[in-house]
Amino acid sequence: MRTLGPDDLIPAADDAATQIVLAFDDNRLASVLFGQYGQNLALIERRLDVVAEQRGNHVTIAGSRSACEQARRVLETLYEQLKRGGDLAAGDVEGAIRLAITQGSALDLDPATRRASFEEINLRKRPVRARTTTQDTYIRALRSHALVFGTGPAGTGKTWLAVAHAVALFERKEVDRIILSRPAVEAGERLGFLPGDLREKVDPYLRPVYDALFDMMDSRIVERAMQTGEIEIAPLAFMRGRTLSNAVVILDEAQNTTAIQMKMFLTRLGENSRMIVTGDPSQVDLPSGQTSGLAEATRLLDKIEGIAHIVFTAEDVIRHELVARIVSAYDQATAARARKREVKE
């Protein structure tokens, strides 16, 4: 990839309108980089407030000086990812954009602290990369803490990255087992009233965890590991009385645990084990008036050494763009209701 012109940037005031022209050596990779019908360039335009015009393997970017620099870094980062043989999804583009925004203008960036990309988890099947600053912090916390709480709205990658981290440790043989659990309360019915054997009963509750697991590992390896007990998927009720050693233990949808269930789960932590607890405090399905075990645990265990609590927000949603807007709208409505209650009191 090369930048055309005697200067990468046409001389301008710090944030005055400017223009840069980029050329990418590999036409095939350039086509993937720009996206089908230029959709990746369109996303960069919307998010960074620039105009990007494509001609063959060239792209001209116009906008403020800082926005052009950010767009240039996004395209360079993604092009290098493609050159290394990586895939390129819409989430990767969004992640590169968020990293560029976080870093600000390269003109003011200290080269010693500059990072080319967010943290990634290396798996045999494919690498899993953080796409937001909070996800980046989350991965770092998973690597350095025995117990990590990840809380925030749906679509922020809490469970996804937790499973990826667990698979990485399992593949490196740093742990012997992966144990995945969820409280089975979402349907409002007891497991005994559902048809089928135990696995068929709990599958509907644990399907998101299954999906993440099969995306991270070869399906044959997953099935074999489940048959041998190296990967175990079970409802929270089956954790009672156990000591979980040499394992990564993930509790998903933890906002639906009671205080007693959460205490029971956390005290299962055994030697050489890691625990990851994820949940969305805004989607509690417990009976009215019952305290969420997740809310209580994050409050009681705050600032205890060895425990990290990473809070995701609507800004970290990596699903469809509309999901972030939907989450934000609900958050604003909740905040408005809270303000009305305060006024009445």
User: pLDDT digits over 323-333, tens only?
Assistant: 667 777 877 78
Per-residue pLDDT, 202: 59
The whole-number average pLDDT for the span 64-85 is 89
* Structural contact between residues 88 and 29, judged by C-beta atoms closer than 8 angstroms: no
Q: Between 319 and 217, where is the model more confident?
A: 217
Q: Between 9 and 165, where is the model more confident?
A: 165
Res. 14 pLDDT band, cuts 50 70 90: low
User: pLDDT digits over 303-340, tens only?
Assistant: 899 999 999 988 888 766 666 677 778 777 877 877 77
* Structural contact between residues 180 and 226, judged by C-beta atoms closer than 8 angstroms: no
Which of these, 255, 244, 248, lies nearest to 296 by C-alpha position? Answer: 255
- 114 CB neighbour count, 10 Å cutoff: 10
User: pLDDT digits over 38-51, tens only?
Assistant: 889 998 999 899 99
User: pLDDT digits over 96-155, tens only?
Assistant: 888 888 776 444 444 344 455 678 898 988 888 888 889 999 999 999 999 999 999 988
- Mean pLDDT score of the chain, rounded to an integer? 82
Residue 205 half-sphere exposure, CB side, CA atoms within 13 Å? 28
- 24 CB neighbour count, 10 Å cutoff: 22
> Which structural domains are found in the chain, ordered by start?
2-108 (3.30.1370.10), 138-312 (3.40.50.300)
Q: What is the pTM of this model?
A: 0.74
Q: Is 200 exposed, middle or buried (0-12, 13-18, 19+ CB in 10 A)?
A: exposed
Which of these, 167, 141, 170, lies nearest to 246 by C-alpha position? Answer: 170
First to last CA, the chain: 62
